């Protein structure tokens, strides 16, 4: 049986005057990867807060429905709506009666968009609804200028968590930019919140090590989890020794976790022997299964499976020929592993020995970058990257593709 697509909708609305100039915002999110799948916002003229909130809900439900062609079919879609409007959540959940004449038609419209069994409602505090709140405020800002909200001008996804200190100069610059941006934006009910001094505790820091070379690496052949599981080459073993020396000199690694594939286990064992640490195995860190493309070069795949390759390059939801994994499937697997490991290793520095796709995926998700960014990152054999994960679930990319230890 096909599993239903699952989305989270966060929606909000506001009115500067209640009634007054009003707007709404809604965002559709992948609950596994945290990706923003769709956004909607609109200035609606003079209205109340509650009307704007209902219109935000309607826009979010419509955006989710548009992402799934058969969304109206029973079992095709499951949506969790999160809003900071107690009124809308309780009324749409059926626990409160809808008495106001302005609310009844809006609630009825929202109820018609998807089957009742496909939608659940959850109240969240306003500080957890920042993305939708920002969209609503952007819509009201646009209305004040006599215009409508434009997606290209949105900064709703830029909100970052408060941290105990900036993880690097680039982050500090980002914090200043966001602070400057927030000073000239009006808000409906609460001030903009940027990075503050709240102490979230020591993050779980994952140092991401791509395994050393195999015989397939310099030939740039597809080498995933569905192929021959090659061992490290002589060059790869040398790379593992060099990275072990570098990590020993730094002295920060507390645990080592590896993909189950041989090239990673061998790399991890070399580092573990140098650091005096055992190697744990995490299946979620394995490389993509490239199906029929395993062992082939890009040119060979182009020659044999051209249309399939074009489709794969065009969408991260398309698997390789022969039943391999799509990058979207890998993202869900890697995200689940990330969540398990961040919970288990909070406040510790852990070396994850893994592969190109899992490392790129963790970097992409940390940045909130779109799926196609996977094709725009370079990761060398035995390179180091690092991501810090804070107590509120947010992440900070601290390093990407460092190969200085190999020079």
Q: Can you spell out the DSSP letters for 25-84?
A: EEEEE-TTT--EEEEEEEEEEEE-HHHHHHHHHHHHHHHHHHTSTTTTSTTSEEEEEEES
State yes or no: is 184 an active-site residue: no
- Write b or e for each residue in 68-107: b if 16 or more Cβ atoms lie within 10 A of its Cβ, otherwise e: beebeeeebbbbebbbbbebbbebbeeeeebeeeebeebb
Distance separating alpha carbons of residues 365 and 340, to the nearest angstrom: 15
Distance separating alpha carbons of residues 178 and 192, to the nearest angstrom: 10
Instruction: Considering the candidates 287, 294, 325, 355, report the single residue annotated as catalytic.
Output: 287
Number of neighbouring beta carbons within 10 Å of residue 294:
20
Residue located via tokens 């009634």: 19
Distance separating alpha carbons of residues 370 and 392, to the nearest angstrom: 22
Judge whether 32 and 3 are in contact, CB under 8 Å: no
Judge whether 198 and 164 are in contact, CB under 8 Å: yes
Q: Per DSSP, what are the bridge partners of residue 25?
A: 12, 41
Instruction: Tell how strand 384-389 and strand 395-402 pair up.
Output: antiparallel
Distance separating alpha carbons of residues 296 and 185, to the nearest angstrom: 53
- List all residues 6 or more positions away from 151 whose beta carbon is below 8 Å from its beta carbon: 39
Query: How is residue 71 annotated by DSSP?
Result: T
Judge whether 50 and 107 are in contact, CB under 8 Å: no
Q: Can you spell out the DSSP letters for 158-188?
A: G-----SS-SSHHHHHHHHHHHHHHHT---S
CA separation, residue 316 to residues 137, 310, 338, 375 (Å): 32, 11, 20, 10
Beta-sheet strands, E only, within 179-223: 204-210
Q: What is the chain's length?
A: 407
Instruction: Considering the candidates 131, 211, 345, 355, report the single residue annotated as catalytic.
Output: 211
Distance separating alpha carbons of residues 138 and 151, to the nearest angstrom: 10
State yes or no: is 300 an active-site residue: no
Judge whether 85 and 53 are in contact, CB under 8 Å: yes
What residues are annotated to the active site?
211, 287
């Amino acid at each position: 049986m096909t599993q239903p697509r699952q989305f989270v909708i966060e929606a909000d609305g506001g009115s500067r005057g209640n009634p007054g100039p009003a707007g709404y915002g809604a965002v559709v999110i992948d609950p596994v990867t945290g990706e923003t799948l769709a956004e909607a916002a609109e200035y609606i003229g003079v209205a109340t807060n509650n009307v704007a909130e209902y219109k935000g809900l309607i826009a979010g439900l419509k955006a989710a429905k548009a992402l799934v062609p058969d969304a109206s079919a029973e079992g095709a879609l499951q949506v969790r709506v999160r809003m900071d409007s107690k009124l809308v959540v309780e009324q749409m959940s059926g626990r409160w009666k809808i008495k106001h004449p302005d609310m009844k038609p809006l609630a009825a419209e929202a109820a018609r968009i998807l089957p009742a069994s496909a939608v659940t409602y959850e109240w969240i505090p306003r500080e957890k609804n920042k993305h939708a709140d920002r969209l609503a405020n952007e819509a009201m800002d646009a209305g004040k200028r006599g215009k409508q909200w434009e997606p290209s001008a949105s900064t709703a996804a830029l909100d970052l968590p408060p941290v105990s200190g900036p993880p690097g100069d680039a982050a500090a610059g980002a914090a200043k930019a966001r602070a400057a941006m927030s000073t000239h934006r009006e808000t409906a009910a609460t001030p903009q919140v940027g990075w503050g001094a709240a102490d979230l505790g020591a993050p779980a820091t994952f140092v991401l090590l791509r395994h050393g070379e195999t015989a397939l690496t310099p030939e740039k052949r597809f080498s995933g989890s569905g192929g021959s599981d090659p061992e490290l080459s002589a060059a790869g073993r040398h790379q593992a020794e060099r990275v072990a020396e570098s990590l020993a000199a730094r002295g920060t690694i507390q645990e080592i976790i590896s993909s189950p594939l041989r090239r990673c286990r061998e790399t991890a064992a070399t580092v573990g022997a140098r650091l005096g640490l055992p190697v744990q195995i995490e299946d979620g860190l394995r490389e993509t299964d490239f199906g029929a493309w395993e062992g082939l070069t890009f040119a060979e795949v182009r020659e044999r499976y051209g249309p399939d390759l074009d489709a794969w390059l065009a969408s991260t939801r398309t698997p390789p020929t022969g039943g391999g994994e799509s990058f979207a499937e890998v993202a869900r697997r890697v995200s689940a592993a990330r969540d398990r490991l961040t919970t288990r290793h909070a406040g510790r520095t852990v070396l994850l020995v893994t592969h190109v796709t899992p490392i790129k995926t963790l970097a992409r998700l940390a940045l909130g970058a779109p799926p196609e960014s996977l094709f725009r990152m370079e990761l060398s054999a035995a390179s180091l990257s690092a991501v810090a994960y804070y107590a509120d679930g947010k992440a900070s990319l601290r390093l990407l593709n460092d190969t200085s230890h190999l020079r």
